[in-house]
Structures are given as C-alpha cells and as structure tokens.
Amino acid sequence: MTTDVLEIRDVGKSFGAVTALREVNLTVRKGEIIALLGDNGAGKSTLMNIICGSNPPDRGAVMVDGQRLDSVDAAQRLGVGVVYQDLALAPHLDLAENMFLGNEITTGPFKMLDRARMRREAEEAIQGLGISTLKDVRLPVGRLSGGQRQVLAVARAIKWASQLILLDEPTAALGPKQVDIVLDSIRTAAAQGLGVILVSHDIPNVLKLADRIVILRHGTIVADRSPEGMTVSDVMTVMVGDDA
C-alpha cells in the first residue's frame, strides 16, 4: 500500500515561447513536509498553481491519492487545502464564517445555517492545533492581526484538507512569535498525516521544519534531498547555480 499522497509525473508548462516547467517529477508522502525553494522565476508559483488545480499542466499529470487533479474543484474534492499568500479571507466575516466559507454546515430542508455548530467546530479545529491566539470565533477577521489571520488561514486549510496542504509564504511579514505559532501548526498538520508543501523564502526556518527540500531552477528540479547538514548558504548556492 502506497503512502504517497501526491505524485507529480513529468509535468511541463509553457507560457507562449517561455517554458516555465519541464519534466518535473515529485512525490509527497503522508506526514511529510516538503519545502519548495527557488529563485524568482524558477517556477515555484507555476508548480503551486498546478498542484492547487488553478492552472493545469500542458504535459504530465498530478495525482492525489491515485486520482488525477486537474481543477480547483478536483483539488477540493481530493482533499487538497491551500493557504494562499493573500490568505483568501473575507475581513467582514467572523472567524467561524471564514473557517466554513464555501463549506457551511446546513440543517433541515431549507438548508439553514447551523451557526452554533460551525462556531463549536471552528473552536475545536483551532484548539486541536494548539492555537491560543484565536480565542473568539465570532470576531470579524478584519479585527485580527496579520499573524492571527495567517494562523486562521492555516487552520482553515488543515481543517478541510484530508491529503495535502500547500502553503505559499506562510511566514512572510510575521514576527518571531507568530512564525513559531504557524510552524507549530504545520508540524501538527504533518503529525496528523497530511502531506505538506511549503513555498517560502524563510530558508533558516525551512531547514528546521522540512523533511525534504526541493529546489527548482529554470523550471526544473535541481535538488531533492534531506535538509540535514545543509546551511542557508548551501541552499542559496543550489538555488542560483551558475547564475551567481
């Protein structure tokens, strides 16, 4: 029985004459944290968009739990959660409403919102991740700090993901304490059996967190290895290659 939650086979993507990705092969196992690194223009965003279904590949295939992922709907159906860099939160809605946005719990023949249950489950999801910074699920998200919003976005992705979560720069613009909270949440998600793909420029923390680092350069994977023994300088050298 395979423990792979994600398999990327010979994926390629071009935009006009520009080849953004070529012959990308990658697998992610249950509970594994993969850091996807690369310089600007290396193809990280393109690969992320392909994995979250918003931009299907020209060649190859993305398989989650043995099924093809080729759209945002398929990604949601297959249990892929995404934390976008802009977080995709609605500031006027409260924490519980954001947690369940698009997945509201309804009851009865008229599909009435079960707000009490959504609030209770939102609290449980947040507490389950050991997050103490989000105490009131009825607080509008517009009143949260940047760090609290980031944690909420991570908690939401974890709640709805059953196979894999993708995180795009989850620690950008956060203070050290908030970074720790987010990293702890990611570790908890992995411990629960989710595969994790993390795109980040925060290399020191990535080296502490990731089980594997995958480095993209010019649209192809140039390194896929354990971070053990690697320094920030080593990673930078592989990222920029001969361009430095």
- Phi, psi dihedral angles at 149 (to 5 degrees): -65, -40
Exposure string of 49-60, with b = 16+ CB inside 10 Å and e = fewer, is bbbbbebbbeeb
Residue 214: partners with Cβ closer than 8 Å, 6 or more residues away = 26, 34, 35, 36, 37, 221, 223, 224
Task: Tell me how far, at minimum, the Cβ of 142 lies from another protein, in Å.
Answer: 4
Query: At its nearest, how many Å lie between another protein and the CB of residue 226?
Result: 33
The distance of closest approach from Cβ of residue 118 to another protein in the complex, given in angstroms and rounded to an integer, is: 10
Site residues for another protein per CB under 8 A: 72-73, 76, 82, 84, 86-94, 97, 101-104, 106, 110-113, 136, 138-140, 142-143
> Residue 42: which of 63, 9, 65, 18 has the closest Cα?
18
Tell the smallest beta-carbon distance from residue 124 to another protein (Å). 17
Amino acid making up residue 89: L
In the bound state with another protein, the residue whose beta carbon lies nearer, of 118 and 206, is 118
Q: List C-alpha distances in Å: 205 to 71, 179, 193.
A: 31, 9, 21
- Tell me how far apart the alpha carbons of residues 186 and 192 are, in angstroms, rounded to a whole number: 10
Smaller CB separation from another protein, 10 or 73: 73
- Least separation in angstroms between residue 88's CB and another protein is 4
Q: Is the Cβ of residue 136 or residue 180 nearer to another protein in the bound state? A: 136
- Whole-angstrom Cα distance, residue 19 to residue 58? 10
Collapsing DSSP states into helix, strand and coil, what is residue 56?
Answer: coil
Nearest-angstrom CA–CA distance, 164 and 173:
24
Q: Which is nearer to another protein, 41 or 56 (CB)?
A: 56
Which pair of tokens denotes residue 140? 């509008």
Main-chain dihedrals φ then ψ at residue 117, nearest 5 degrees: -70, -40
**With respect to another protein, which residue has the nearer C-beta, 73 or 180?**
73
| Minimum distance of another protein from residue 195's CB (angstroms) | 20
**Minimum gap (Å) between residue 58 Cβ and another protein:** 23
